[in-house]
Each structure stands twice: as C-alpha cells, then as structure tokens.
Amino acid sequence: MMENNHHVDFDVNIAQQSINEQQLINPPTIAVVYHSNYGHTRRVAHSIVSGIVQEGVMAQAIDIDELDWDYLDNANMIVFGSAVYMGSVTAEFKQFMDSTSKRWFERGWEGKWAAAFANSGGLSETVKQTV
C-alpha cells in the first residue's frame, strides 16, 4: 500500500516537472487589448492584467493606439475591451477590428482563447450589446 502511494507520488512529480519545463520554454501569455479615450476602460484593462499576473501568468495591456501585433499573434489568449460609445464599441476599436480582417480570413488566430469586456456610463444593456 505504502509502495503504491510512493509510486503514484513519483509519477505526479514527473508530470508536474514536465509541465513546468514546457511552461519555461513557452510560457502562456495573455494580451488585453483595449481602447479608452477617457481612461475608465484603461483602468479596467490594467486591473485585469494585474489579476492575471498575480496568478503567475504573463499578461500585457495593449492600447490599440500602440498595437503590438507580434504580442497579439503569439498570445494564447486575447481579451478585447472597449468603452461604449453610442451603443457600441468606439470608432477606434471598430477600426482595430477591421484591421484584423486578414487574420480572420486566414484563421490566423484560430485556437486562441478569447474574452471581451466593455465599460459604459450606465446602461448595462449597451455593455452586453457591445461585448
């Protein structure tokens, strides 16, 4: 019985070690790409990033005015965030969406995890619609 337990522990350790080695070679990264004219959505984006980093995962907040396409292309997950202007994403965020059309067409981001958030002045319905 003792020996069985010992054997199981040993296997778990090896499995854990190989996961850690894999993560050292290619650590998972999350990009939080956002647009904010007045700073509210930026604050949300930065809090999301600090929450992720506290969990030990690499993450970066990326303002769409300073896009880092390599980081987005290589990220395992992209979180999209926009302020709500006139019931939808901001014009600048829509422009960013349009600029991903080649990647969309070529399925360049297939297999990534994704999430979205929006930040509005009040109406939660407009947030849901925007997300």
d(CA 80, CA 92): 13
126 binds ligand FMN (CB under 6 A): yes
Angle at 50 (CA atoms; ends 36, 22), nearest 5 degrees: 120
- Cα–Cα separations (whole angstroms), residue 50 to 32, 54, 56, 57: 11, 6, 10, 10
130 binds ligand FMN (CB under 6 A): no
Closest separation between CB of residue 119 and ligand FMN, Å? 5
- Cα–Cα separations (whole angstroms), residue 119 to 2, 6, 22, 32, 50: 56, 52, 36, 14, 18
- Cα–Cα separations (whole angstroms), residue 75 to 48, 89, 96, 109: 15, 22, 17, 9
123 binds ligand FMN (CB under 6 A): yes
116 binds ligand FMN (CB under 6 A): no
Cβ proximity to ligand FMN: between 58 and 63 the closer is: 63
Closest separation between CB of residue 114 and ligand FMN, Å? 20
83 binds ligand FMN (CB under 6 A): yes
Closest separation between CB of residue 41 and ligand FMN, Å? 3
Cβ proximity to ligand FMN: between 7 and 43 the closer is: 43
Touching ligand FMN, residues 26-55 (CB under 6 A): 36-41
Q: Which residues bind ligand FMN (CB under 6 A)?
A: 36-41, 83-87, 119-123, 126
